[in-house]
Structure 1
Amino acid sequence: MRSSGLVLTLNSGSSSLKFAVMDPESGETALDGIGDALDTPAPSLSWNYSDEKSERELPAGAAHGAVIDFLVDMLQQDLPELRRQLIAVGHRVVHGGEYFSRSVLIDRAVIDAIAECSDLAPLHNPAGLLGIRTALAAFPQLPQVAVFDTAFHQTLPEHAYLYALPYALYRDHRIRRYGMHGSSHRFVSERAAQLLNKPISEANIVSAHLGNGASVAAIKGGVSVDTSMGLTPLEGLVMGTRCGDLDPGILIHLAESLDYSLGQISRLLNRDSGLLGVSELSSDCRELERAAADGHRGARLALEIFCYRLAKYVAAYHVPLLRVDAVVFTGGIGENSCFVREKVLQWLRCLDYELDTARNQQTRFGAEGRITAPGPAALVVPTNEEWIIARDAAALVRDARG
């Protein structure tokens, strides 16, 4: 590890919390781990330290707070030498609205702005705030940095971020497309450019971040020019429990004809839809693939809708980019699901994408590289949001110190 110091990163997803203690220069990790399937009947916690993997059971329904409390105790009680090397804590925050176009040092005004945006990311911002407040209490001497998913997409042109609603709703209430997963799209587009032997300023990438939350971004010369998520993380692709795109008239019908309350509609769209809702089985792509192979109709249908929606978005993003150097799969599903990648590329045969089946099967579990035959390129690039968070946090700390 470098002597300049390490950064603790907290990356709170809708059903997971990834953490790492990382060298911001090299990306090397001293400690990393994940709390997965949080707020479900079977949450799990695993971590790696000194090349040794450990696991711990979590109570049914345990959420982000249980993982953070465990991490703080481990650093304070078991790994004090690691704690002493920390120079900052970096936090992934999903929604920063128009308040933030870059990462920032956290103060009271930043916390208030994140809280104000919580209704736009109800599965994410509250978890991010919990991490911030817990880290502030545990490490009061360390600078804390917020790295926003939405910041990367602040470069979208007006014609991409505005909805065809009365303009006053944007002017007075900032209702517009914001986009998410910015740190992931930023990292994989930079890495994809390296794999293509192109400077990022010349690379046109369609980046597909596929996990329990999922989004696509059109990245032109390192700059986001369009993305699938909107005002909130609900819009766009089918996700684990979120519906993605739908006719807004459905919401009116639910309220007026079926007597749904706003709370019921919110739960339906955020927690009961997507892969879970269609399959009536699970939000976990791995479980659905196993069930589909055993003939479960709902699982097969959910996966087909997921892949079809993604392929349509990829095809559409050839419009703003004009030339696409590569489609990039990332995130837990994108990096590991050979099935999903194959299905998506089958839908994209109209654009001459041709899967290399052997490469597709080999490129999993941290592997990266091309999975298509000569012609239009599709790549798998494992994301590393933590490194983006650590880099930005270290840079802000250096700037603050002059």
Structure 2
Amino acid sequence: MSADTPRTVVTGIGVATPNGLGVDDFWAATRIGKNAIGRVTRFDPTRYPSRLAGEIQGFVAEDHLPNRLIPQTDRMTRLALVAADCAFEDAGVRPGDIPEFDMGVVTASTSGGFEFGQNELKKLWSQGSQYVSAYQSFAWFYAVNSGQISIRNGMRGPSGVVVSDQAGGLDAIAQARRQIRKGSKLIFSGGFDASICPWGWVAQLAGGRMSTSDDPDRAYLPFDAEASGYVPGEGGALIILEDAEAARSRGARNIYGEISGYAATFDPKPGPLDSGPSSEGGREPGLRRAIELALADAALAPEDIDVVFADAAGTPELDRVEAEAISAVFGPGRVPVTAPKTMTGRLYSGAAPVDVVSAVLSMREGLIPPTTNVTLSPEYDIDLVTTQPRTASVRAALVLARGYGGFNSAVVVQAVD
């Protein structure tokens, strides 16, 4: 990065996860390893092979949003809208403070408004087309969170949506950083998903990676010898990104950290090109390359990274790939690794933005949150933070995310003096 390249900093946070609504509640639970995984309550999961999830309890959208928005929004959008309000407040910015064409929104989504879509399809099949809400035309759509946030807050600058499964949250943040570098003054970014409904559940089961355990403490165990899949969850985070100088000029109350590096790679589907003897049955997974490129983008060496927030797929093969990539770049056991998503389940597009939030809060407190319930398998040569939080000086963190189908993304977050 050249000296005159604008630095992109995080100045506001809005977060909603199964273990906390808002920054304070979320971090109070995360820093001590509070588990929020339990049996699904949003529908009866008895007939399904997987019955656990990370659900957000106690969220009443009507307490936070105008009545007119309730019938036109899915649960994920309601969560995102409230998170956007919280991020504005946290940043000390009101929508009218910045010209409307200087503010934009770039979010990620994995499933869109599944629950809204399910309810309207049920009406179509059981009652007829005249009973289907007109809002079905957009409430289910992947881009709806970007649209609703921009409309509600009068944000008419560069906006968009990224769809790359679990990696999407980091890809959206990277796209937002590009817009800041092009001159936008403020960009909202992050991701939210909330597809804990029968239709969404069946879609997730089709991936074949969900845990079938009924024990909330043993269902999602990345890097553990007993790992057998992941537990899904709902929620996510939105962050406000600004140019560092502009943020200081306006007197920003919080500058949590800088998005200093990013890279993405893609693992192609195995095929004829991967079957030669020199490749031992396949090309090397791209995660290691994504890490190396993200570090180069941030102008950092491996030894500059103080903690890695792992993707933590929870399946043996994917855990092995991630552990090998981390060990190859940083050296065996040379950098602390954590996966606080074991407390909430995998939040799809919302997971990595939540990890970015955890990273900047780790910098602020000097504490790495734990990977709960996991006993590190001797197969993996990494320094996994388990059981208890670890006190540490955190100046730079690496956040990893991978999406179904081969997406790999990496973001470097640094403290700002």
* TM-score normalised by the chain length of structure 2: 0.29
Q: Which structure is higher in helix share?
A: 1
- Tell which has more relative contact order, 1 or 2 (C-alpha 8 A, sep 6+): 2
